[in-house]
Amino acid sequence: MARAPGTQEPEIFKILTALACVIELGGFGGLGGACGAARAAPAIAQYGAPRYAPGFTHFDYVDPHAPKGGTLTLANPNRITRFDTFNPYILRGNPAPGIDLLFDTLTVGSGDEASSAYGLLADDIAVAADGLSVRFHINPAARFSNGDPVTAADVKYSFDTLMSQAAAPNYRAVWADVSRATVIDPQTVRFDFRHAGRELPLTIGALPVFSPKWGQRADGSHPPFDAIALEKPIGSGPYTIASYSGGTQIVLQRNPRYWAADLPVRRGMFNFDRIVYKLYGDPAARLEALKAGEFDASVAVLARDWVRGYTGGRFNDGRLIKRVFKHSNDAGMQGFFVNIRRPLFQDVRVRQALDLALDFPYLNRQLFYNQYSRSDSFFTNSELAAHGLPDAGELALLEPLRAQLDPAVFGPMALQPDTAPPGSLRDNLRRARTLLAAAGWTYRDGALRDRAGQPFVFEILDDSGGAFGAVVASYARNLAKLGITVNFRTTDFALYQQRLQNFDFDMTTLAWPGSQSPGNELLDNVGSAAAGIPGSGNLVGIHSPAVDALVQAVLAARTRPALVDAARALDRVLMHGYYVVPQWYSPVHRVVYRRGLAFPTTLPLYYDAAGWILSTWWEAPKAAAVSGASAVSTRPDS
Q: Give the whole-angstrom CA distance, residue 358 versus residue 475.
A: 6
For residues 569 and 390, the answer to whether their CB atoms sit within 8 Å is yes
Count CA atoms within 13 Å of residue 134 on its CB side: 32
- The predicted-structure confidence for 453-465, as pLDDT tens digits, reads as follows 999 999 999 987 7
- The predicted-structure confidence for 437-452, as pLDDT tens digits, reads as follows 999 999 999 999 999 9
Confidence of residue 31 (pLDDT cuts 50, 70, 90): low
For residues 136 and 178, the answer to whether their CB atoms sit within 8 Å is no
Please compute Rg for the chain using Cα positions: 26
**Amino acid letter at 444?**
R
Tell me the CATH architecture of domain 11-227: 3-Layer(aba) Sandwich (3.40)
The pTM (predicted TM-score) of the whole model is 0.74
Question: How much is the average pLDDT of 57-82?
Answer: 95
What's the confidence (pLDDT) of residue 115? 85
Question: How much is the average pLDDT of 470-498?
Answer: 95
Query: Does 108 have pLDDT greater than 60?
Result: yes
- The predicted-structure confidence for 541-593, as pLDDT tens digits, reads as follows 999 999 999 999 998 888 889 999 999 999 999 999 999 999 999 989 999 99
What's the confidence (pLDDT) of residue 48? 82
Q: Give the whole-angstrom CA distance, residue 121 versus residue 139.
A: 6
What residue ranges do the domains of the chain occupy? 11-227, 295-327+587-638, 333-585
* Close Cβ partners of 175 (under 8 Å, ≥ 6 residues apart): 159, 162, 163, 203, 204, 520
Q: Is the peptide bond before 422 cis (omega within 30 degrees of 0)?
A: yes
What's the confidence (pLDDT) of residue 624? 52
What's the confidence (pLDDT) of residue 426? 96
Q: Give the whole-angstrom CA distance, residue 62 versus residue 294.
A: 27
Residue 261, phi then psi, degrees to nearest 5: -55, -30
Q: In what order do the strands lie in the sheet with 457-462?
A: 485-490, 457-462, 507-512, 333-338, 580-582
Count CA atoms within 13 Å of residue 96 on its CB side: 30
Class of 333-585 in CATH: alpha beta
SS (H, E, C) 83-150: CCECCCCCCCCCECCCHHHHCCECEECCCCCCCEEEECCEEEEEECCCCCEEEEEECCCCECCCCCEC
Confidence of residue 243 (pLDDT cuts 50, 70, 90): very high
User: Helix crossing, 348-356 with 425-438: angle to 10°?
Assistant: 170
Query: Does 3 have pLDDT greater than 50?
Result: no
Query: Does 12 have pLDDT greater than 80?
Result: no
